[in-house]
Amino acid sequence: MHTLIERALPREEWLTREQAHHERADALTAAHRERSSRSEKHPVWDFLFTYYSYKPAQLRRWHPGADVELQDAPERLSWRWYSPGETEGGVVPDPRSFAQEKADLAALVERMLRRTASRPGQFGCFGLHEWAMVYQADEHRHAVPLRLGRAGTDAVVESHDLRCTHFDAFRFFTPEAVPRNRTPLSREDQPLFEQPGCLHAGMDLYKWATKLGPLIPGELLLDSFELARDIRLLDMEAAPYDLSAWDVTPVRIETPEGKAEYVRRQRVFAERGTALRRALLDAWLGDGTREAA
């Protein structure tokens, strides 16, 4: 666990970091905010703000991280999971308050981060989870055509071994695709199967960062958003949809060349995710000696 106060930031210093965070967050969300102002949908990028339900204004809010005191910041004393610091007017994001109020969530997040980090990455899924979501279906979630048509898409699924390890992808499989997966998955067993090679496990680092709120430094939050953004592009490039209208070039995972490209990029994301997963644990739990129940 952290000591009560790990370090303190003078007001001038934390205001400078906060402003830099605002500018970086605004740049990352500018295109989405412009589209939203026109009520314009995007089949690739809207996911980052709908599935994760974290709005640009929330992403813009900067925090110093667990047990880092903001000096002369009385305006933040009313913020959730902030406690008085050691100096007059100082405040500090308090992991103990979070753990008391959100014990189940804290245990889940720690379990998912630690157990995922403890496993080797698997790199043989080729992004077929998106194909399994439309297998033998007359309609699908995205209002865009299938790149190979329905029959061609079904044939790709039938010629491959489905190896999905991520429940939140598996739960969207069509009923016909479910028994084709190598392993049946459930919400209760999610911590047993999550592994660092999975694209969605990498994207979900952003979800865990948002769940931890002020306990995660703003810089790490934006790092996790950037990783989720980059992974999302490959996820949709490898999907069965024709996204040429949005200038998305497909990674044709039905071919040997497409598979090789997918795995190459998947490994890079796994390395980035491993480093970020370690950074999130360290920022939140300090020396990492506390294990969730």
Span 193-211, mean pLDDT?
A: 97
Per-residue pLDDT at 280 exceeds 70: yes
Residue 61: alpha-carbon gap to chain centroid: 17
Cα 86 from Cα 163, distance rounded (Å): 51
pLDDT of residue 5: 65
Span 31-46, mean pLDDT?
A: 96
Cα 170 from Cα 82, distance rounded (Å): 37
- Token reading at 60: 């813009």
pLDDT of residue 212: 97
Specify whether the CB–CB gap between 85 and 91 falls below 8 A.
yes
- Spatial CB neighbours of 214, under 8 Å, sequence gap ≥ 6: 63, 64, 65, 66, 79, 80, 81, 82, 93
Per-residue pLDDT at 6 exceeds 80: no
Specify whether the CB–CB gap between 124 and 112 falls below 8 A.
no
Per-residue pLDDT at 3 exceeds 60: no
- Average pLDDT for the chain: 94
Cα 293 from Cα 291, distance rounded (Å): 6
pLDDT of residue 4: 55
Specify whether the CB–CB gap between 46 and 96 falls below 8 A.
no
pTM for the model stands at: 0.94
Cα 58 from Cα 185, distance rounded (Å): 32
- Spatial CB neighbours of 219, under 8 Å, sequence gap ≥ 6: 17, 21
Span 178-188, mean pLDDT?
A: 96
User: Which candidate, 133, 136, 196, 144, places its Cα nearest to that of 168?
Assistant: 133
* Cα-based distances in Å from 166 to 56, 71, 116, 127, 241: 26, 42, 11, 11, 21
% of the chain with per-residue pLDDT over 90 = 92
What SS3 class is residue 193? Answer: helix
Strands 7-9 and 82-84 turn out to be unpaired
pLDDT of residue 290: 39
Q: How many CB atoms lie within 10 A of CB 86?
A: 11
pLDDT of residue 7: 87
pLDDT of residue 1: 40
Cα 161 from Cα 151, distance rounded (Å): 18
Residue-wise pLDDT for 94-151, tens only, equals: 999 999 999 999 999 999 999 999 999 999 999 999 999 999 998 777 779 999 999 9
% of the chain with per-residue pLDDT over 70 = 96
Residue-wise pLDDT for 232-254, tens only, equals: 999 999 999 999 999 999 999 99
